Amino acid sequence: MGQLKQYLTRCLNMALGVEGETTYTNSFDILIKEDGFIFVPRMPAGFVLDNSLYQRIYQIANAALYPNYTVLKQNGIYFVPLYGQPLEIKRGLFFPWIKGTANRLIISGLDDYFASRDESKQGNVIPLMKDFSLNYQNVTSIAIAGNSGAGKSYFLSYLLSALLWISDLIIIDPKRDQPSRWSRDHSIRAVYPNSNSSKSDYVSSVNERLEGALNTIYRRQAELYAESSKHFRPVTIVIDEVLALTEGVNRQIKDAFFALLSQIALLGRATNVHLIICGQRLDHTAIPTSVREQFNVLVQLGNINSKTTQFLFPDLDPTGIVIPVEKGAGIIQVIDDQHPYNVLPFLAPTYYEKKEGKRYA
């Protein structure tokens, strides 16, 4: 820890010393903790303790500590009290970290991998990266966004293969693309358009499936009212490229789609009915704001900047986050009681498809 403190202190001295405020002038100190470090200014100071300073220190430290540590991005300044210290050093700026970096999960034979898992111990756990997993019991809804070619559909297929064993699936694929082929190969009916139907007809058929899911929610609510301890098998509604459903469709049908989606998102949690929504841009024209607010697993793949993250991560300034330049790379945030409440670099799993021997990331 002593060497780490000296190294980090030197990095901050070099970067912040342009204002004459360094440890050589006793302007600040660094405290190393197991879960992060604390920047301790000695007051009064020649610099302002504001969000600008906090983000500047974050950018310096995150780059300096990579790849031994990943400093977790904060949306705003993170003060911590230092009780028992003199008034001049009784507060600090905390920078939480995790050891190491994002490590991609590589799986050979995707279906065999999930089929061979011990369901009594791992049934609801979906591994996303090495040392990073998702407990589906804690999931409300999942959002996956990213530019074309970023790896959204392949990651979605990975989630489908995981959910096949723990959830009933309703798959809606307006492009009749990767999710439809996955559904065909696993004998699950997908809702996709055909050449004989108009777009409005197709979205109407989607609304019928959503209405069926909503009726399931109502039925389960009644059963929970009678027996509050009852458990249900998860039902997951998967919608790929949601914007393709809402663009250019009859307004009345679109409003019905939005209304059904909103009710499912708001009511589905208690009855174990989930949404997974995938699209290039998840703004208000693609999904209602009320649906977006229910997501507790947020994944953005591909180009990461303030423009691409504005819908899923409206308060995030992604500057300084170290993201590998690879397919299937991006950021993730899981909002529950088991993961740090921070945005993390993300590498979607790479898997091999048994039939064709292809590698997908």
The dihedral built from the CA positions of residue 121, 125, 128 and 132, taken in this order, carries a sign that is: negative
In tens, the pLDDT along 10-58 reads 999 988 865 667 888 889 999 999 999 999 999 988 888 999 999 999 9
In tens, the pLDDT along 148-157 reads 889 999 999 9
| CA atoms in the 13 A half-sphere facing the CB of 357 | 0
- For residue 35, the enclosing domain spans 2-99
CA distance linking residue 73 with residue 96, whole number of Å: 8
Q: Given 65, 99, 133, which residue is the final one in a domain?
A: 99
Q: Given 69, 99, 129, which residue is the final one in a domain?
A: 99
pLDDT of residue 145: 96
Torsion of CA 189, 195, 196, 202, to 10 degrees: 50
pLDDT of residue 360: 42
pLDDT of residue 148: 87
143 shares a domain with 184: yes
160 shares a domain with 26: no
246 shares a domain with 182: yes
41 shares a domain with 123: no
CATH number at residue 261: 3.40.50.300
Q: What is the mean pLDDT of the chain?
A: 90
Task: Note if the bond before 44 is cis, omega within 30 degrees.
Answer: yes
CA distance linking residue 262 with residue 270, whole number of Å: 15
Q: What is the tally of structural domains in the chain?
A: 2
121 shares a domain with 220: yes
54 shares a domain with 110: no
118 shares a domain with 87: no
Percent over 90 (pLDDT), the chain: 71
261 shares a domain with 332: yes
Cβ density class 80-116: b for 16+ within 10 Å, e for less: eeeeeeeeeeebbbbbbbbeebbebbebeebbebbee
pLDDT of residue 18: 55
Least confident of 26-40, 68-82, 102-116, 230-244: 102-116
187 shares a domain with 307: yes
Mean pLDDT across 112-124: 72
pLDDT of residue 283: 92
Q: Given 30, 64, 99, which residue is the final one in a domain?
A: 99
Q: Specify the pTM.
A: 0.90
258 shares a domain with 243: yes
Which residues, 6 or more positions from 181, have their beta carbon under 8 angstroms from its beta carbon?
Answer: none
176 shares a domain with 305: yes
Q: Does the pLDDT of residue 359 top 50, yes or no?
A: no
Helix (H) / strand (E) containing 163: helix 152-163
Of residues 337 and 226, more confidently modeled: 226
29 shares a domain with 117: no
